[in-house]
Every structure is written in C-alpha cells, then in structure tokens.
Amino acid sequence: MNRAYYYDTKIGRISIVENGDAITHLYFNEIEEKDVMIEETPLLKEAYKQLSEYLDGTRKEFDIPLKPHGTEFQLKVWNALREIPYGVTCSYKDIAIKIDNEKACRAVGLANNRNPISVFIPCHRVIGSNGKLVGYGGGLDIKEKLLNLETEVNHL
C-alpha cells in the first residue's frame, strides 16, 4: 500500500507519495491515487525535509530514492532531467539531443509534462527554445519561483 502525506511549503500545499521503497509522486493538489493511505513515514519526512531545504536555498541536490513509473522513453527523459545542474535551464531540444533522439522535441515535451515527481526530478529547468517559460504542472508561477530561487542561490 502506498503512503502519502500533505505538507504546506513555500510553493503551496503539496502531497508526496511513496511505495515503501521510494518516492513515486509529488502533487501540487489533491492526491490522485485511490489506493493510498494518508500516513507520514520516515521516507516522506525525509523527502519533505530535503524539499524544505531546497526551498530555503540550502540544498541543491536530492538524495532520496525516486521511482517514477512511465514508458521506457519517459524514463529516459526523466533521467536526463535529473542531470540538469541546479540553476541551469535547457530546452526540449537539448533534452532530445541528450537522449540521442534529436527529432523527439515534442515527445520530450509530453514526457516532461507527465513527470510524476516534480521538483525532485527538475522538469522546471526546461524552458522554451526562445527562452520563455512553458507549461508546468504546478503552474507557471511556481516554475518561475523555483527558477528564481535557483538563480538567486547561485549568485550568493
């Protein structure tokens, strides 16, 4: 049985879900899963602690186990997202090139949009090739806050 817990953060109320071994989801709204018990576990506490440190500007990398579920292509994209350094942005095309599929920009965008563990898997670091912010599951205002946070911390 998956466990989840709600937390109030600097980017609003979120819920984090784990499967007993790893974090599987971060939601910016109500939990969408049916078979989940609302119970704070040590892993969820640690995920929240690391997320809070990140939002406070004192953590740049996460070291909790993550287990997103998706297609082989989505997993490739999500792994590439995890390699984007803190404070750096790139485009969908950059990610497509990184996964050796340069023409898959649109598919990369769809996979980015379906990232189930936002922030921990930093899909917010992907922007349009024209430098503009593009869609984000938590809303563009949260994406902008996350990018601004990383920029500010990198300039300290």
Active-site residue, from 11, 84, 123, 146: 123
Please work out, in degrees rounded to the nearest 5, the angle formed at the alpha carbon of residue 70 by the alpha carbons of 126 and 44. 80
Type of residue at 154? N
Q: Determine whether 105 is an active site residue.
A: no
Catalytic residue positions, numbered: 123
